[in-house]
Amino acid sequence: MRAAAERALLKVKLGAPGDPARIAAVRRAAPRAELIVDANEGWTADDLATNLAACAQAGVTLVEQPLPAANDDALARIARPLAICADESVHARASLPSLVGKYDAVNIKLDKTGGLTEALVMAGEAERLGFTLMVGCMVATSLALAPACLRATGRTGFATTAAASTRRRRRCGDETGAAGAPAARCAPTRPPLSG
């Protein structure tokens, strides 16, 4: 964790009991880093407010997919103290209208959209609906990420995790996308989301 503390951005994987203490510990260890949390559908409607408040207290910029995609309606009924990004809840253009009022951003992954053409159309529709955009990736090579990077560069309100993932894998000696190096050692850096 000490090596990662100096990074500009840390994406923290949460989604279990004790998350408020974990995110507070990360903030103490990395006081200057921008923090993004990916709860990977691990929170419930019962612990959502507590976890979001802890994230807000820690200065988290964005929380990605806090609730299971099939049970994310609670997001429309609570005050959100920070930006919430859809990941597992968004797949293609058809899923966007149901996310309005629940999410502030959407993570567009070429793997899920079916390719660059649909991702471009989907991004335009998401922007029209008022979402901030984030480009992400699943397990992919740098060649597979190139179209996502092209889409993300130069766009206001468009964050890119794809380029950062490529840089991270190179630093960790992993061009194939396979896991192996500890996440704290290989945390990506990228420009912050802008709203």
- Residue written as token pair 């995110």: 23
How confident is the model over 100-114, as pLDDT tens digits? Answer: 999 999 999 888 888
Q: What is the mean pLDDT of residues 1-9?
A: 78
Cα 86 to Cα 67: distance, rounded to the nearest angstrom: 9
Residues 6+ apart with CB under 8 A from 100: 129, 130
Q: Between residues 60 and 178, which one has the greater pLDDT?
A: 60
Residue 66 DSSP one-character state: -
- Which helix or strand (DSSP H or E) is residue 84 part of? strand 83-86
Is it the case that residue 5 has pLDDT exceeding 80?
Answer: no
Of the pLDDT bands very low, low, confident and very high (cuts 50, 70, 90), residue 1 is low
Q: Where are the domains of the chain?
A: 1-89, 97-170
| Predicted pLDDT at 186 | 32
CA atoms within 13 A on the CB side of 63: 32
Query: Once rounded to an integer, what is the mean pLDDT over residues 5-26?
Result: 94
Range with the lowest mean pLDDT among 5-14, 62-71, 180-189?
180-189
| pTM of the entire predicted model | 0.76
To which H or E segment does residue 60 belong?
Answer: strand 60-64
Q: How many whole angstroms separate alpha carbon 110 and alpha carbon 136?
A: 8
Q: pLDDT at residue 82 above 70? A: yes
CATH number given to 1-89? 3.20.20.120
Q: Please check the confidence at residue 177 and state whether its pLDDT lies above 90.
A: no
152 — pLDDT class (breaks 50, 70, 90): low
Residues 6+ apart with CB under 8 A from 77: none
